[in-house]
Amino acid sequence: MRIAVTIFLTDETITPVRLARELEQRGFAGLYLPEHTHIPTERTSPYPAGGDLPREYGRTLDPFVALGQAAAVTERLGLGTGITLAAQHDPIDLAKQVATLDHLSGGRFTLGLGFGWNVEEAADHGVTWRTRRELVRDRMGLMRALWAEEPTGYEGEFARVRPSFAHPKPVQKPRGPVVGPRTLVGGAAGPKLFAHICEYADGWLPIGGRGLTEALPRLRTAWADAGRDPGALQVVPYAVLPSAGKLAHFAELGVEETVVQLPAAGEAEVLRALDACRQFVE
């Protein structure tokens, strides 16, 4: 099993360059970074994990800039977002950012997508909360059009683009309905989420990995019903606090990559955490 990591990189933590070099040297598979543009102080949205919102949420580095630094100092390390809040981006700009990072890294990028939990943050971006999933679906359609080999237009409910020259292209070639880099969708198990995964993604990015025994058969059924190749589905448990037993359970379910959580901390603490996780890499 490949072991990747995720961390809230901030202006107070280890730097992307230092972390990326250490990850590649130790044999980790990848680095996934979360995204929050800002955290409104007047917030009614509860923190999904419960309790007070950790300090790092309001201090996160831009994931594309940080991953660009990581790409520049590594050769093999996978690079991903976990997750990109696609509803909060202009899709034409986002398509360019994604394609550029994937091109410059030699196809190492994974686009982890999500729908968000912070209503106030999304509202400041002009997002209507009840239609955010449809908005993300529409924006993915537009980006797929810009990533197509030939100039392709897109007309959707929330977005449109005329046939255009748009380069660079993502490295990975189209596979089934999926165009662009490796794409994983995060979120809680359910018919709506699974429909999104089957329509435009390579798989699922479930936070923590709880409940996979019950959820995976439902996702595999939806995947097969959509005409997707059963062997192509990827499920990557995300932000996992690892143990040997947990990873063995994931392996029994057919999971080939797990993303473990690192502390949002300075260099010394993060490197200690990496050393503790190294047993799972080896």
- Quick: pLDDT tens for 91-131: 999 999 999 999 999 999 999 999 999 999 999 999 999 99
Please state, rounded to an integer, the average pLDDT across all residues of the chain. Answer: 97
Burial string for 59-72 (b: 16+ CB within 10 Å, else e) reads bbbebbebbbbbbe
Residue with tokens 């990028």: 109
Confidence of residue 156 (pLDDT cuts 50, 70, 90): very high
The closest of 187, 4, 212 to 86, measured between CA atoms, is 187
Q: Is the peptide bond before 237 cis (omega within 30 degrees of 0)?
A: no
Three-state secondary structure call for residue 182:
strand
For residues 205 and 52, give the distance between their C-alpha atoms in angstroms, rounded to a whole number: 24
240 has pLDDT over 90: yes
43 has pLDDT over 90: no
Q: What is the pLDDT of residue 271?
A: 97
- Quick: pLDDT tens for 81-98: 999 999 999 999 999 999
Q: Is the dihedral of CA 148, 151, 157, 158 positive or negative?
A: positive
282 has pLDDT over 80: no
* Range 6-11 average pLDDT: 98
Confidence of residue 214 (pLDDT cuts 50, 70, 90): very high
The closest of 101, 191, 85 to 140, measured between CA atoms, is 85
The closest of 129, 53, 45 to 87, measured between CA atoms, is 129
The conformational region for residue 7 under phi > 0 = left, psi -120 to 50 = alpha, else beta, is beta
Residue with tokens 């543009």: 37
